[in-house]
Structure 1
Protein backbone atom coordinates (compact mmCIF):
# COMPACT_ATOMS: atom_id res chain seq x y z
CA UNK A 1 0.00 0.00 0.00
CA UNK A 2 1.35 3.36 -1.01
CA UNK A 3 0.53 6.42 1.08
CA UNK A 4 0.09 9.75 -0.82
CA UNK A 5 1.65 11.69 2.08
CA UNK A 6 5.04 10.04 1.79
CA UNK A 7 8.09 12.06 0.90
CA UNK A 8 9.96 10.75 -2.10
CA UNK A 9 13.69 10.30 -2.32
CA UNK A 10 15.76 13.33 -1.38
CA UNK A 11 18.54 14.71 -3.49
CA UNK A 12 21.30 16.67 -1.78
CA UNK A 13 23.30 19.23 -3.73
CA UNK A 14 27.00 19.27 -2.87
CA UNK A 15 28.46 22.51 -1.53
CA UNK A 16 30.01 24.71 -4.22
CA UNK A 17 32.53 27.52 -3.76
CA UNK A 18 31.25 31.10 -3.48
CA UNK A 19 30.35 32.57 -6.88
CA UNK A 20 29.59 36.17 -5.90
CA UNK A 21 32.37 38.59 -4.96
CA UNK A 22 32.87 39.17 -1.25
CA UNK A 23 32.14 42.84 -0.58
CA UNK A 24 33.01 44.33 2.79
CA UNK A 25 29.95 45.98 4.36
CA UNK A 26 31.87 49.06 5.49
CA UNK A 27 33.23 49.75 2.03
CA UNK A 28 29.86 49.32 0.34
CA UNK A 29 28.14 51.42 3.01
CA UNK A 30 30.69 54.25 2.70
CA UNK A 31 30.35 54.25 -1.09
CA UNK A 32 26.57 54.32 -0.84
CA UNK A 33 26.66 57.09 1.77
CA UNK A 34 28.92 59.16 -0.50
CA UNK A 35 26.46 58.78 -3.38
CA UNK A 36 23.52 59.69 -1.13
CA UNK A 37 25.33 62.79 0.15
CA UNK A 38 26.31 63.83 -3.39
CA UNK A 39 22.77 63.36 -4.69
CA UNK A 40 21.14 65.05 -1.70
CA UNK A 41 23.59 67.93 -1.83
CA UNK A 42 22.91 68.37 -5.53
CA UNK A 43 19.17 68.53 -4.91
CA UNK A 44 19.58 70.94 -1.99
CA UNK A 45 22.00 73.05 -4.01
CA UNK A 46 19.39 73.50 -6.72
CA UNK A 47 16.87 74.79 -4.15
CA UNK A 48 19.20 77.14 -2.26
CA UNK A 49 19.57 80.73 -3.54
CA UNK A 50 23.39 80.55 -3.47
CA UNK A 51 23.47 77.39 -5.58
CA UNK A 52 26.83 78.01 -7.33
CA UNK A 53 28.64 78.43 -4.01
CA UNK A 54 26.96 75.37 -2.50
CA UNK A 55 27.73 73.21 -5.52
CA UNK A 56 31.36 74.35 -5.43
CA UNK A 57 31.53 73.47 -1.74
CA UNK A 58 29.97 70.07 -2.37
CA UNK A 59 32.42 69.38 -5.19
CA UNK A 60 35.37 70.32 -2.99
CA UNK A 61 34.07 68.15 -0.14
CA UNK A 62 33.61 65.24 -2.54
CA UNK A 63 37.19 65.62 -3.79
CA UNK A 64 38.51 65.79 -0.22
CA UNK A 65 36.58 62.66 0.78
CA UNK A 66 37.70 60.74 -2.28
CA UNK A 67 41.33 61.81 -1.85
CA UNK A 68 41.27 60.97 1.86
CA UNK A 69 39.82 57.54 1.16
CA UNK A 70 42.44 56.97 -1.54
CA UNK A 71 45.25 58.06 0.76
CA UNK A 72 43.95 55.92 3.61
CA UNK A 73 43.76 52.94 1.28
CA UNK A 74 47.38 53.48 0.26
CA UNK A 75 48.61 54.10 3.83
CA UNK A 76 50.26 51.46 5.98
CA UNK A 77 47.18 50.92 8.17
CA UNK A 78 44.57 49.21 6.03
CA UNK A 79 41.02 49.68 7.20
CA UNK A 80 41.76 52.67 9.47
CA UNK A 81 40.78 55.25 6.85
CA UNK A 82 37.70 53.24 5.91
CA UNK A 83 36.58 53.28 9.52
CA UNK A 84 36.90 57.07 9.70
CA UNK A 85 35.10 57.42 6.37
CA UNK A 86 32.35 55.14 7.65
CA UNK A 87 32.08 57.16 10.87
CA UNK A 88 31.87 60.41 8.91
CA UNK A 89 29.26 58.91 6.60
CA UNK A 90 27.23 57.73 9.60
CA UNK A 91 27.37 61.21 11.13
CA UNK A 92 26.24 62.78 7.87
CA UNK A 93 23.40 60.29 7.58
CA UNK A 94 22.35 60.99 11.19
CA UNK A 95 22.36 64.73 10.49
CA UNK A 96 20.23 64.17 7.37
CA UNK A 97 17.93 61.89 9.37
CA UNK A 98 17.48 64.55 12.05
CA UNK A 99 16.66 67.15 9.37
CA UNK A 100 14.11 64.79 7.84
CA UNK A 101 12.59 64.04 11.27
CA UNK A 102 12.29 67.76 11.99
CA UNK A 103 10.61 68.36 8.64
CA UNK A 104 8.26 65.42 9.31
CA UNK A 105 7.37 66.80 12.76
CA UNK A 106 6.65 70.22 11.24
CA UNK A 107 4.41 68.58 8.68
CA UNK A 108 2.60 66.67 11.42
CA UNK A 109 2.08 69.88 13.40
CA UNK A 110 0.69 71.64 10.33
CA UNK A 111 -1.64 68.73 9.63
CA UNK A 112 -2.86 68.71 13.26
CA UNK A 113 -3.48 72.47 13.17
CA UNK A 114 -5.42 72.10 9.91
CA UNK A 115 -7.44 69.24 11.39
CA UNK A 116 -8.29 71.28 14.50
CA UNK A 117 -9.37 74.23 12.34
CA UNK A 118 -11.53 71.93 10.19
CA UNK A 119 -13.15 70.38 13.27
CA UNK A 120 -13.86 73.82 14.76
CA UNK A 121 -15.45 75.10 11.55
CA UNK A 122 -17.42 71.87 11.19
CA UNK A 123 -18.75 72.15 14.74
CA UNK A 124 -19.71 75.80 14.23
CA UNK A 125 -21.55 74.98 11.00
CA UNK A 126 -23.36 72.10 12.70
CA UNK A 127 -24.53 74.35 15.53
CA UNK A 128 -25.73 76.98 13.02
CA UNK A 129 -27.56 74.31 11.04
CA UNK A 130 -29.19 72.84 14.13
CA UNK A 131 -30.23 76.34 15.31
CA UNK A 132 -31.74 77.20 11.92
CA UNK A 133 -33.56 73.85 11.81
CA UNK A 134 -34.92 74.37 15.31
CA UNK A 135 -36.10 77.87 14.41
CA UNK A 136 -37.88 76.59 11.29
CA UNK A 137 -39.53 73.80 13.29
CA UNK A 138 -40.71 76.33 15.91
CA UNK A 139 -42.34 78.46 13.22
CA UNK A 140 -44.40 75.50 11.95
Structure 2
Protein backbone atom coordinates (compact mmCIF):
# COMPACT_ATOMS: atom_id res chain seq x y z
CA UNK A 1 0.00 0.00 0.00
CA UNK A 2 1.14 3.54 -0.59
CA UNK A 3 1.36 6.41 1.83
CA UNK A 4 -1.95 8.32 1.58
CA UNK A 5 -2.11 11.78 3.14
CA UNK A 6 0.62 11.04 5.67
CA UNK A 7 -0.93 7.71 6.73
CA UNK A 8 1.45 4.77 6.74
CA UNK A 9 -0.69 1.61 7.01
CA UNK A 10 2.36 -0.61 7.52
CA UNK A 11 3.41 1.40 10.57
CA UNK A 12 -0.12 1.32 12.02
CA UNK A 13 -0.44 -2.44 11.47
CA UNK A 14 2.90 -3.13 13.15
CA UNK A 15 1.81 -0.92 16.06
CA UNK A 16 -1.42 -2.89 16.43
CA UNK A 17 0.47 -6.18 16.30
CA UNK A 18 2.97 -4.93 18.89
CA UNK A 19 0.06 -3.80 21.11
CA UNK A 20 -1.61 -7.22 20.80
CA UNK A 21 1.66 -9.03 21.62
CA UNK A 22 2.22 -6.81 24.66
CA UNK A 23 -1.31 -7.51 25.90
CA UNK A 24 -0.83 -11.23 25.35
CA UNK A 25 2.44 -11.28 27.30
CA UNK A 26 0.82 -9.32 30.13
CA UNK A 27 -1.99 -11.88 30.36
CA UNK A 28 0.38 -14.86 30.46
CA UNK A 29 2.37 -13.80 33.53
CA UNK A 30 0.81 -14.29 36.98
CA UNK A 31 -2.85 -13.50 37.64
CA UNK A 32 -4.75 -10.78 35.92
CA UNK A 33 -5.63 -7.61 37.78
CA UNK A 34 -9.20 -7.69 36.54
CA UNK A 35 -9.63 -11.34 37.51
CA UNK A 36 -8.27 -10.71 41.01
CA UNK A 37 -10.55 -7.69 41.44
CA UNK A 38 -13.62 -9.63 40.33
CA UNK A 39 -12.64 -12.56 42.57
CA UNK A 40 -12.35 -10.22 45.56
CA UNK A 41 -15.73 -8.62 44.79
CA UNK A 42 -17.38 -12.04 44.38
CA UNK A 43 -15.86 -13.30 47.64
CA UNK A 44 -17.10 -10.20 49.49
CA UNK A 45 -20.57 -10.54 48.02
CA UNK A 46 -20.77 -14.22 48.97
CA UNK A 47 -19.51 -13.45 52.50
CA UNK A 48 -22.19 -10.78 52.87
CA UNK A 49 -24.85 -13.15 51.59
CA UNK A 50 -23.74 -15.83 54.06
CA UNK A 51 -23.89 -13.26 56.88
CA UNK A 52 -27.48 -12.17 56.17
CA UNK A 53 -28.73 -15.61 55.10
CA UNK A 54 -30.05 -16.67 58.56
CA UNK A 55 -32.60 -13.82 58.42
CA UNK A 56 -34.00 -14.90 55.04
CA UNK A 57 -36.52 -17.69 54.50
CA UNK A 58 -34.54 -20.85 53.72
CA UNK A 59 -31.48 -19.05 55.05
CA UNK A 60 -29.55 -22.15 56.11
CA UNK A 61 -29.60 -23.47 52.56
CA UNK A 62 -28.52 -20.06 51.17
CA UNK A 63 -25.71 -19.85 53.74
CA UNK A 64 -24.42 -23.33 52.83
CA UNK A 65 -24.56 -22.49 49.11
CA UNK A 66 -22.75 -19.15 49.59
CA UNK A 67 -20.01 -20.75 51.71
CA UNK A 68 -19.68 -23.54 49.13
CA UNK A 69 -19.24 -21.01 46.32
CA UNK A 70 -16.65 -19.14 48.40
CA UNK A 71 -14.74 -22.42 48.72
CA UNK A 72 -14.89 -22.96 44.97
CA UNK A 73 -13.69 -19.44 44.26
CA UNK A 74 -10.73 -19.75 46.63
CA UNK A 75 -9.71 -23.07 44.98
CA UNK A 76 -9.99 -21.68 41.44
CA UNK A 77 -6.75 -20.17 40.10
CA UNK A 78 -8.32 -17.09 38.50
CA UNK A 79 -11.36 -16.28 40.58
CA UNK A 80 -14.88 -17.69 40.66
CA UNK A 81 -14.95 -19.16 37.15
CA UNK A 82 -11.52 -20.76 37.10
CA UNK A 83 -9.90 -18.88 34.23
CA UNK A 84 -12.72 -16.46 33.50
CA UNK A 85 -10.50 -13.51 34.46
CA UNK A 86 -8.02 -14.45 31.77
CA UNK A 87 -10.83 -14.82 29.25
CA UNK A 88 -12.18 -11.39 30.16
CA UNK A 89 -8.70 -9.87 29.85
CA UNK A 90 -8.34 -11.47 26.41
CA UNK A 91 -11.76 -10.09 25.46
CA UNK A 92 -10.69 -6.58 26.54
CA UNK A 93 -7.45 -6.93 24.55
CA UNK A 94 -9.42 -7.98 21.47
CA UNK A 95 -11.76 -5.01 21.90
CA UNK A 96 -8.78 -2.65 22.14
CA UNK A 97 -7.30 -4.19 18.98
CA UNK A 98 -10.69 -3.79 17.30
CA UNK A 99 -10.65 -0.10 18.21
CA UNK A 100 -7.19 0.27 16.65
CA UNK A 101 -8.35 -1.42 13.44
CA UNK A 102 -11.52 0.72 13.37
CA UNK A 103 -9.35 3.83 13.68
CA UNK A 104 -7.19 2.65 10.76
CA UNK A 105 -10.34 2.01 8.71
CA UNK A 106 -11.66 5.48 9.54
CA UNK A 107 -8.36 7.06 8.36
CA UNK A 108 -8.62 5.08 5.13
CA UNK A 109 -12.22 6.24 4.62
CA UNK A 110 -11.19 9.86 5.21
CA UNK A 111 -8.36 9.63 2.68
CA UNK A 112 -10.68 8.02 0.11
CA UNK A 113 -13.26 10.78 0.66
CA UNK A 114 -10.54 13.39 0.20
CA UNK A 115 -9.39 11.79 -3.07
CA UNK A 116 -13.02 11.56 -4.23
CA UNK A 117 -13.57 15.28 -3.55
CA UNK A 118 -10.35 16.12 -5.42
CA UNK A 119 -11.39 13.97 -8.41
CA UNK A 120 -14.90 15.50 -8.47
CA UNK A 121 -13.48 19.03 -8.37
CA UNK A 122 -11.08 18.33 -11.22
CA UNK A 123 -13.85 16.65 -13.23
CA UNK A 124 -16.16 19.64 -12.78
CA UNK A 125 -13.41 22.10 -13.78
CA UNK A 126 -12.56 20.15 -16.93
CA UNK A 127 -16.25 19.91 -17.84
CA UNK A 128 -16.69 23.67 -17.41
CA UNK A 129 -13.59 24.30 -19.55
CA UNK A 130 -14.89 21.95 -22.25
CA UNK A 131 -18.36 23.56 -22.24
CA UNK A 132 -16.79 27.03 -22.52
CA UNK A 133 -14.63 25.99 -25.48
CA UNK A 134 -17.61 24.29 -27.16
CA UNK A 135 -19.77 27.42 -26.69
CA UNK A 136 -17.00 29.61 -28.18
CA UNK A 137 -16.72 27.34 -31.23
CA UNK A 138 -20.52 27.33 -31.67
CA UNK A 139 -20.58 31.16 -31.45
CA UNK A 140 -17.99 31.46 -34.25
CA UNK A 141 -20.17 29.37 -36.60
CA UNK A 142 -23.17 31.67 -36.23
What TM-score results when the alignment is normalised by the length of structure 1?
0.49
> Larger relative contact order (C-alpha < 8 A, sep ≥ 6)?
2
What TM-score results when the alignment is normalised by the length of structure 2?
0.48
